A and B are shown apart, each in its own frame.
Chain A
């Protein structure tokens, strides 16, 4: 049987299919639908130090082949995560990656310090790319210098693998990827949502309470594949690719572009079984193609 295990530097996963942050809550919501243990890992909802209320409604709207969201990082905060959500996740035998966001460097550092020694957490993902809150990372994710300094500081106190999630809302994503690698990131995940907007022509007002939101789903897939392709050629650290993945064919594009693992986001809303199915389909694909592991296709589309 083909081996689905992957190694992203020091991060070993039983398979390369992950739940994208913010689309899978803290796992519990999906536990009656799928076996959480089967997933490569769960990247939990963006966590901040203190609880956050999030943005005014409406927070989501559908778009062609996708959706806009402006949740605003609503989450219960670090303490509630540690006391309530994490134990449940550990009970379900899921591999947990915590996505962290902050308003200041201090926030990120405190979160990293509090989380990185906790049993059950296999990696941290720095969210430097949420487009829906004023600080919430985007500030850190669009300037090479500010980002580099933050990653260096977090790296210094974080003994577990450090993933840096990049924003697509920049002129040249490879520059930021490069800066992330230089500053000590172990893994890069991309892409976060693309900033977008919908106007309700009846009321002549923006449809979302937050005015703008982040676009995700199949609509952004070609952009995401291109960015993975570009970043793969400019850094040596492994990549987690995401953006509009619904099934095996979509995921294969990301592997071929250079991702060593993939994450499913908005696809979970449409088909809650998308990830377990993708894992099974990936195994069948490798067997059919006579491949030993996904490593054999990673970056195979590079010319």
Chain B
């Protein structure tokens, strides 16, 4: 589960996002959409903890995998300075992935910001299953937008939304999606990843929509493997609430499982 991945490429793809191409055959082979890697940032004691990142795609034939990350604080800032041929200490793949049910045909993927990363990987899997993929992607402004069209398989239909209207729909991605629904869009299934308020909004709306919907959550992590109980999220099952772990029970949950 613990491997040193070789950096093949690192590239800036928006004002604060980076694309990382890694080579590690085992991870490339084993990873499922929705799973993540727990990456150690350098060898020094600060930053201390590993950082979790979704796997944004794999190529098992080439033994490579992709990560998309946004610079948020010290850890991601240091990660953005890795260079070709550096080795990254990766724990994973971890967590449970998205489950893609054969029955549903049109899948709508909803991403806010860097939440696009796990959905990129998912879209490849869905297209392989001959499903129609519609991708709604929201960012705060044009310069924050990662060039999703070059990252997403060309078969996917892509809709953009920016909060300031500098590209695509003006407003939140949830609003863009609502407009799509008003115009007759009929999703069979929804997959979403993004900031908590966006996911919470979706879960609220879905009480009326009632689409099958899976969401990918984030929580601060220490071990990443279910040992420390640090990444707790309250979940409910048949009316009873309990503590779920984002690293082990998630990061993907059913929309109605999560207690907000």
Residues of chain A at the chain B interface (Cβ within 8 Å)? 22-25, 29-30, 32-33, 45, 53-54, 57-67, 69, 71, 74, 217-218, 246, 266, 268-273
Chain B interface, DSSP helix/strand/loop, else mixed: loop
Pair B223/A33 contact, Cβ less than 8 Å: no
A240 to B3, CA, bound (A): 32
Give chain B residues whose Cβ lies under 8 Å from the Cβ of A218. 45, 48
Give chain B residues whose Cβ lies under 8 Å from the Cβ of A64. 46, 48
Q: A200 → chain B, closest Cβ, in Å?
A: 12
A30 to B224, CA, bound (A): 11
Q: Does B228 contact A (CB under 8 A)?
A: yes
Chain A interface, DSSP helix/strand/loop, else mixed: loop
A11 to B174, CA, bound (A): 60
Contact of B226 among A25, A53, A63 (CB under 8 A): A25
Give chain A residues whose Cβ lies under 8 Å from the Cβ of B1. 32-33, 272
A122 to B56, CA, bound (A): 45
Q: Does B243 contact A (CB under 8 A)?
A: yes
A60 to B51, CA, bound (A): 13
Q: B21 → chain A, closest Cβ, in Å?
A: 25
List the A residue with the shortest CB-CB distance to B225.
Answer: A29
Give chain A residues whose Cβ lies under 8 Å from the Cβ of B91. 272
A-B contact pairs, 29 of them (CB 8 A): A25-B223, A25-B229, A29-B223, A30-B227, A57-B219, A57-B231, A57-B232, A57-B233, A58-B219, A59-B220, A60-B228, A62-B49, A65-B45, A65-B46, A65-B48, A67-B49, A69-B228, A69-B230, A71-B228, A74-B229, A74-B232, A217-B48, A218-B48, A268-B223, A268-B227, A269-B50, A270-B49, A270-B50, A271-B40
Give chain A residues whose Cβ lies under 8 Å from the Cβ of B243. 53-54, 74
Q: B225 → chain A, closest Cβ, in Å?
A: 5
Q: Does B222 contact A (CB under 8 A)?
A: yes
Contact of B225 among A30, A69, A266 (CB under 8 A): A30
Give chain A residues whose Cβ lies under 8 Å from the Cβ of B20. none
Q: Does B221 contact A (CB under 8 A)?
A: yes
A272 to B89, CA, bound (A): 11
A136 to B191, CA, bound (A): 41
As a 0/1 sequence over residues 231 to 257 of chain B, the CB contacts with chain A under 8 angstroms (1 = contact) are 111000000001100001000000000
Given contacts A32-B1, A57-B233, A59-B220, contact A25 B228 (CB under 8 A): yes
Q: A111 → chain B, closest Cβ, in Å?
A: 19
User: Can you add 18 more A-B contacts, CB < 8 Å, to A60-B230, A65-B46, A270-B50?
Assistant: A23-B227, A23-B228, A29-B226, A33-B1, A33-B2, A54-B243, A57-B231, A59-B220, A62-B48, A62-B220, A65-B48, A66-B48, A71-B228, A218-B48, A266-B48, A269-B222, A271-B40, A272-B225
Give chain A residues whose Cβ lies under 8 Å from the Cβ of B219. 57-58
Give chain B residues whose Cβ lies under 8 Å from the Cβ of A66. 48
Given contacts A22-B228, A25-B226, A269-B228, contact A58 B220 (CB under 8 A): yes
**Which positions 184-242 of chain B face chain A at CB distance < 8 Å?**
219-233, 242
Q: Which of B45, B224, B229 has the most CB of A within 10 A?
A: B229
Pair B47/A62 contact, Cβ less than 8 Å: yes
Pair B227/A25 contact, Cβ less than 8 Å: yes
Give chain B residues whose Cβ lies under 8 Å from the Cβ of A272. 1-2, 91, 225
Q: Which of B2, B221, B242 has the most CB of A within 10 A?
A: B2
Contact of B49 among A24, A54, A71, A269 (CB under 8 A): A269
List the A residue with the shortest CB-CB distance to B51.
Answer: A62
List the B residue with the shortest CB-CB distance to A51.
Answer: B242
Give chain B residues whose Cβ lies under 8 Å from the Cβ of A67. 48-49, 222
A218 to B44, CA, bound (A): 11
Pair A29/B229 contact, Cβ less than 8 Å: no
Q: Which of A23, A53, A54, A59 has the most CB of B within 10 A?
A: A59
Pair A59/B223 contact, Cβ less than 8 Å: no
Give chain B residues whose Cβ lies under 8 Å from the Cβ of A273. 2
Contact of B227 among A29, A54, A62, A270 (CB under 8 A): A29
A60 to B222, CA, bound (A): 7
List the A residue with the shortest CB-CB distance to B241.
Answer: A53
Give chain B residues whose Cβ lies under 8 Å from the Cβ of A65. 45-46, 48
List the B residue with the shortest CB-CB distance to A209.
Answer: B232
Q: A203 → chain B, closest Cβ, in Å?
A: 13
Give chain B residues whose Cβ lies under 8 Å from the Cβ of A60. 220-222, 228, 230-231
A279 to B230, CA, bound (A): 27
Given contacts A33-B1, A54-B232, contact A266 B222 (CB under 8 A): yes
A67 to B231, CA, bound (A): 14
Give chain A residues whose Cβ lies under 8 Å from the Cβ of B221. 60
List the B residue with the shortest CB-CB distance to A66.
Answer: B48
Q: A220 → chain B, closest Cβ, in Å?
A: 12
Q: B138 → chain A, closest Cβ, in Å?
A: 22
Give chain A residues whose Cβ lies under 8 Å from the Cβ of B229. 25, 45, 54, 59, 71, 74
A217 to B242, CA, bound (A): 29
Q: A6 → chain B, closest Cβ, in Å?
A: 25
